[in-house]
Amino acid sequence: MKKLILILLSVSNMVFGQKNKTKTQSTSPVPIDYTVSLSPEKWEFKEGKVEFFDKNGIKAMRIRQGNQGAVMLKDVVFKDGTIEFDFEPASPMTLGSSPTVYFRGNPQKNDTEIFYIRARPNKPTANDGIQYASILGGVNMWDMYPEYQAPALFEADKTNHLKMIISGQQMRVYVNDMNRPALQIPKLEGNTTEGILALDGGMVVSNMQIKPDVVESLPDSPSPDLTDHDAQYIRNWLLTKPADLPVGTEVTIATLPKPETFTEFIEAESKGMINLTRKLGGNTPRRVVWLKTKLKAAENQKNVMQLGFSDDVWVFLNNQMIYLDKNTYLQPPMRKYPEGRISIQNAKVNLTLKQGENELLIAVANDFYGWGIIARLENMEGVEFLK
């Protein structure tokens, strides 16, 4: 009798399990198709920029090198998620044909985020193989964030795979190796949080997918900025309105601004940078702006200011010029480390501080991409920043 009951219970469990299994199968979600159609009706482009064709039975899109503008995906507002596709860079690769992804673009304000792959195929140790930058009001900030680049292994005329995960203010990028990120951005620096998505650069694109909100647990808040823990950065400045400064014209002690011309206030962003591009826009033609702050010294002392700048600076302490320099990318002998980008390693300025208040003025001129400064004292013993 016990044996019969056990058999009946076993059969009953089998039937119940089959019913549950059937129910589960019938309610399982249909897989989402994230595929992006590579056909002309899905993209906006200028004539001669794009060719659509079949590659080994797979739809593909060839983006030609040139200045016809980016190829924009229609009817898509991208915010957070995954962008993934195969890309085959055209050979020979040039800086002007770098495979490029624009995301969260705002055409009206000319703001966007940008990721691109430079002409460094088969060079896994080239530290500028890939880079992220923001574009603010049409100004590409590539020279303001040298830390947002990295090496990556890819090949021209061969199929490579790119995967970008964007979540809030963070981004993670994979190139070919899907197990190890090639680039991680702790804080996206653009003005936009959503917008258009577009491609550019000489390459063939295939197997493209856009996965909205699929972020693989990447946090949406920025990672901590370790410079926030450093009290030696000079973070608060007064500034004048920008003025034209024609190429070849220099700042002198005779052009020191009057106190009443300092009508604006600016505060440092991430890595202690005074971002003049975000505040004042770009410069065509060349413009100059003055920054002012005050240091209070407990006694007479010598100090050193680490200074990053883009592009030209003139430094005055207590109405005396103590330093001038240029960080000019287009003139290789004038490039400061690292490669003409802004960095706290650009220069060191000797300061002779008197007891009491000291007025520090910095004139900054620019006509090439982003502009700004980073200033940090090497020694805060007996020094106080005054607002």
The single-letter code of the amino acid at 107 is: P
- Distance CA(232)–CA(82), nearest Å, equals 38
Contact status, residue 310 vs residue 329, Cβ threshold 8 Å: no
- The count of residues in the chain is 387
One-letter amino acid identity for 297? Answer: A
Angle 82-83-87 (CA atoms, 0-180°, nearest 5)?
150
Q: Give me the residues paired with residue 316 across strands.
A: 321, 361
DSSP state of 226: G
pLDDT tens digits, one per residue of 250-259: 999 999 999 9
- Let me know: does 65 contact 202? Beta carbons within 8 Å: yes
pLDDT of residue 27: 67
Query: Does the global pTM surpass 0.85?
Result: yes
- Name the pLDDT band for 94 (thresholds 50, 70, 90): confident
Closest CA to 173 of 182, 104, 269: 182
Give bridge partners of residue 317 from the DSSP assignment: 320, 360
Cross-strand pairs, 83? 164, 210
What is d(CA 127, CA 118) in angstroms, rounded to the nearest whole number? 10
Domains of the chain: 40-212 (2.60.120.560), 226-386 (2.60.120)
Q: What is the per-residue pLDDT across 225-284, written as a single tens digit (0 to 9) for each?
A: 999 999 999 999 999 999 999 999 999 999 999 999 999 999 999 999 999 999 999 999
DSSP 222: P
| 8 A C-beta contact, residue 317 and residue 360 | yes
In which residue are the tokens 């006509």 written? 367
17 falls in which pLDDT band (50, 70, 90)?
A: very low
What is the three-class DSSP state of 167?
strand
- H runs (alpha helix) in the chain: 2-27, 276-280
Pairing state between β 287-297 and 356-366: antiparallel
* Contact assessment for residue 115 and residue 94, using Cβ atoms and an 8 Å cutoff: no
Average pLDDT over residues 82-101: 93
